[in-house]
């Protein structure tokens, strides 16, 4: 639908773009089940949607895109599914690396990477190093990520700093707290997109989403295209963001 694509992207107001869009990619399993396929086929099909989201973000002029690729809770899935997801991530790091470099994408990964096998950590190292000069889009992959765990780590780190005499408890404020998050160098998401019709945050960026606009779509992740991303951004541009004040 190139003409429709042209239309939606042209409807976006460049002056009111969300700087940071985060996506909870959901519905791979249901997509596969609906087609009588094993769940992993849904994950495989979801890779195309990852490409769409990245290219769509670049096309729209979004600066930061966070994708929730694997949660800490996902470690409780059957070991074969975990192994498949990890191998997909490794494949992504290998097969997409050159395209990402060519498109000016800089990749970062957040989460408890200690739980990954060394092969996975190596793939992450390779892709983050290779893309470090990217200037058009910062792509943040949340892998083995859980927001409560992130917050506990911050609390532990601040307690250590107090213990070491570097800090007084009274000096801990929101800015200092945020400076210990994985996301310390980046703005909070302006827009959160969740696919597959679910209305849950699922332990994702609990601190960072405090004032984020939420958009859910019934589309299952493998069917997600850049058009859906533009639709979410258009909806975002209709919102009145008040941040607790009376008007924006």
Sign of the Cα torsion 90, 85, 115, 111 reads positive
Give CA–CA dist 228/167, Å, rounded. Answer: 46
Q: Residue 131 pairs with which residues in a beta bridge?
A: none
Catalytic position from the list 74, 103, 149, 203: 74
Nearest to 19 by CA among 126, 140, 145, 114: 140
Give CA–CA dist 52/215, Å, rounded. Answer: 18
List 141, 147, 191, 205, residue binding ligand FPP (CB under 6 A): 141
Rank residues 196 and 208 by Cβ distance to ligand FPP and give the closer one: 196
Has 74 been annotated as catalytic? yes
75 to 114: interface string for ligand FPP, x by CB under 6 A? ----------x--xx--x----------------------
The least distance separating ligand FPP from the CB of residue 195, rounded to whole angstroms, comes to 8
* Residue 30 contacts residue 245 (beta carbons within 8 Å): no
Q: How many CB atoms lie within 10 A of CB 62?
A: 24
Give CA–CA dist 5/234, Å, rounded. Answer: 13
Tokens coding 231 = 């639709």
Q: Considering only residues 181 through 220, tell me which ones interact with ligand FPP, judged by CB under 6 A.
A: 196
Give CA–CA dist 99/102, Å, rounded. Answer: 5
Rank residues 216 and 237 by Cβ distance to ligand FPP and give the closer one: 216
The set of residues, in sequence order, having a beta carbon less than 8 Å from that of 76 and lying 6+ positions away, is none
Has 103 been annotated as catalytic? no
Rank residues 77 and 153 by Cβ distance to ligand FPP and give the closer one: 77
The least distance separating ligand FPP from the CB of residue 105, rounded to whole angstroms, comes to 12
145 to 184: interface string for ligand FPP, x by CB under 6 A? ----------------------------------------
43 to 62: interface string for ligand FPP, x by CB under 6 A? x--xx--x------------
What are the catalytic residues? 26, 74
Q: Interface residues with ligand FPP (CB under 6 A)? A: 25-30, 43, 46-47, 50, 67, 69, 74, 85, 88-89, 92, 141, 196, 221
């Amino acid at each position: 639908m190139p003409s429709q694509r042209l239309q939606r992207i042209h409807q976006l107001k460049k002056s009111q773009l969300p700087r940071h869009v985060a996506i909870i990619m959901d519905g791979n399993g249901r997509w596969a089940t609906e087609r009588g396929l094993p769940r992993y086929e849904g994950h495989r099909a979801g890779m195309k949607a990852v490409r769409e989201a990245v290219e769509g973000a670049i096309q729209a002029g979004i600066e930061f895109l966070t994708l929730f690729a694997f949660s800490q809770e996902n470690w409780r899935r059957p070991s074969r599914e975990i192994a498949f997801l990890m191998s997909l991530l490794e494949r992504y790091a290998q097969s997409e690396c050159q395209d990402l470099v060519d498109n000016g994408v800089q990749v970062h990964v957040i989460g408890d990477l200690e739980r990954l096998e060394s092969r996975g950590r190596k793939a992450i190292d390779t892709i983050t190093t290779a893309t470090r000069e990217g200037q058009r889009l910062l792509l943040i992959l949340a892998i083995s990520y859980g927001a409560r765990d992130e917050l506990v780590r911050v609390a532990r780190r601040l307690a250590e700093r107090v213990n070491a005499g570097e800090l007084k408890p009274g000096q801990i404020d929101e800015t200092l707290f945020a400076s210990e998050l994985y996301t310390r160098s980046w703005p909070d998401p302006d827009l959160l997109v969740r696919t597959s019709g679910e209305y849950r945050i699922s332990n994702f960026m609990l601190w960072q989403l405090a004032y984020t606009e939420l958009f859910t779509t019934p589309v299952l992740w493998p069917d997600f295209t850049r058009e859906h991303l533009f639709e979410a951004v258009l909806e975002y541009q209709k919102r009145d963001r008040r941040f607790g004040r009376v008007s924006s």
